[in-house]
Chains A and B, each alone.
Chain A
Amino acid sequence: MAPHRTRGFTLAELLIALILLAIVGDVVVRLLAGSQRLTRAQSEQTALQASVRAGALLVPAELRELGTGAAGADLLIMGPDSITYRAQRAVGVACAVTATTIVLRSALMFAYRAPGGPRDSVLLYLEGNPASALDDAWQVLAISGAPSAGSCPDGSAALDLPTAVPAGVLAQVVTDAPVRTFEVMQMRLYRSGGQYWLGSRSVSAGEATIQPMLGPLKSNGFQLDYLDAAGAPAALASDVRSIDVTIRGVTDAPVSAGLGRLQLAEDSLRARVRLRNAPRP
């Protein structure tokens, strides 16, 4: 009789075991769920910080080579959350310039990609009076087609850019004139799918739709402040010497903010870029 009684559990034992299992199970599930929420919040935070930091690096890098003022007005449209500008794509030296061709010395060519019309245009440096910097200018010339391999007058390798140089300009070109190529780009804040993004498009390539660069951002997530030489707000493009870029990002989804609250996390960075080709005193 005695061994028989120990074979099973009484109802009370079973109930106590079940209740204990439920309590322990509940604690474990809560811990795991909290841990999962935290992991998710961490990955969202990491993505947010990466996105904001990328914006604070990318935008100044894109705007750094702009020139303003008389010697090359690269700042075309200044908006508080949009900017249209001549994005520099190549720098070189023209070893020869004819009425139909600009010959770029290959050894001194530094390019983001191979220049070509009609997407890219040329800025050709005109010296004018060598004794004065005030009459120097950058002449805008359209590139009429794809570049081809050529050679400089001294026989070294070169890239021929097809263009049309007016006779008046041709007369002012100096030997080994600096050349910059550019395409007109627009960067702006835009809304898509209920979220705000920073996007860009090539105006000179005829792109109608804006391509996303980074996001999601806040509704004021891309802010540009144009500053003059003294650091005061500049109203005219020719006065702009540096640009303050503010990127305010949000996480893609609400994340745990402690105590069971869920909300979008935010992060922001402000970068300043001095325009390297802006005139100096």
Chain B
Amino acid sequence: MRRARLGFTVLEVLVAMLVLGIGIVALIGSSALVSRMIGQGRRTTHAVQVAERRLELLRQQAVTTVPLCAGLAGGSASQPGGITEQWQVVPSGATTLLRVVVTYPSGRGWSVDTLATAIACV
């Protein structure tokens, strides 16, 4: 009996190592999650920037014709980074609604974001 109490049994050491291992794996896992979220944030920013650029381009096209907004039409385009954009132009009285839908790769599949605005056509 006295001899058994002096050290740790192999079982105790294994359990301790298992608990330590679980802790370390959890730590690395949360770190990997943060990395993925930073990457996702970067891709979302790039995709939203593509949509913003499209809105500014449409705003510019809207004022180059007489009457205003006459040359606007929907369409789609592919951008670097696997980003695709589709835009719709919906005339609505004195204003025109612009909607840009961007699809971009995210961790395991695809993410979709929509930017919409209304521009004056008078």
**Whole-angstrom CA separation of A19 from B44 in the bound complex:** 49
**Whole-angstrom CA separation of A269 from B56 in the bound complex:** 15
Q: Are A274 and B42 in contact (CB under 8 A)?
A: no
In the complex, which residue of chain B has the Cβ closest to the Cβ of A9?
Answer: B7
Residue with the highest number of chain A CB atoms closer than 10 Å, among B35, B41, B60: B60
Residues A271 and B52 in contact in the complex (CB < 8 Å), given A49-B38, A229-B60, A242-B60: yes
Which residues from chain B contact A229 at a C-beta distance below 8 Å? 60, 64
**Whole-angstrom CA separation of A241 from B52 in the bound complex:** 17
User: Which residues of chain A from 187 to 244 have any CB-CB distance to chain B below 8 Å in the complex?
Assistant: 229-231, 241-242
**Whole-angstrom CA separation of A230 from B61 in the bound complex:** 8
Assess whether A264 is interfacial by the CB under 8 Å rule.
Answer: no
Residue-by-residue, is B43-70 near A (CB-CB < 8 Å gives 1, otherwise 0)? 0011001001100110110011110100
Assess whether A157 is interfacial by the CB under 8 Å rule.
Answer: no
Residues A281 and B66 in contact in the complex (CB < 8 Å), given A31-B24, A242-B60, A274-B60: yes
Number of residues in B with C-beta < 8 Å to the partner? 26
**Whole-angstrom CA separation of A270 from B50 in the bound complex:** 8
Assess whether A119 is interfacial by the CB under 8 Å rule.
Answer: no
**Whole-angstrom CA separation of A242 from B56 in the bound complex:** 9
Q: Are A49 and B31 in contact (CB under 8 A)?
A: no
Q: Are A31 and B59 in contact (CB under 8 A)?
A: no
Residue-by-residue, is A1-21 near B (CB-CB < 8 Å gives 1, otherwise 0)? 001001000000000000000
Residues A45 and B38 in contact in the complex (CB < 8 Å), given A35-B27, A271-B49, A271-B53: yes
Assess whether B34 is interfacial by the CB under 8 Å rule.
Answer: yes
Q: Are A38 and B56 in contact (CB under 8 A)?
A: no
Residues A49 and B63 in contact in the complex (CB < 8 Å), given A270-B49, A270-B53: no
A interface, size bucket: 20 to 34
In the complex, which residue of chain B has the Cβ closest to the Cβ of A229?
Answer: B64
**Whole-angstrom CA separation of A42 from B34 in the bound complex:** 8
Q: Are A49 and B24 in contact (CB under 8 A)?
A: no
Q: Are A6 and B6 in contact (CB under 8 A)?
A: yes
Assess whether B18 is interfacial by the CB under 8 Å rule.
Answer: no
User: Which residues of chain B from 1 to 60 have any CB-CB distance to chain A below 8 Å in the complex?
Assistant: 2-3, 6, 24, 27-28, 31, 34-35, 38, 41-42, 45-46, 49, 52-53, 56-57, 59-60
Subset of 12 A-B contacts with CB under 8 Å: A35-B27, A35-B28, A49-B41, A229-B60, A229-B64, A269-B49, A272-B53, A272-B57, A273-B56, A274-B59, A274-B60, A280-B68
Binding site for A on B (CB under 8 A): 2-3, 6, 24, 27-28, 31, 34-35, 38, 41-42, 45-46, 49, 52-53, 56-57, 59-60, 63-66, 68
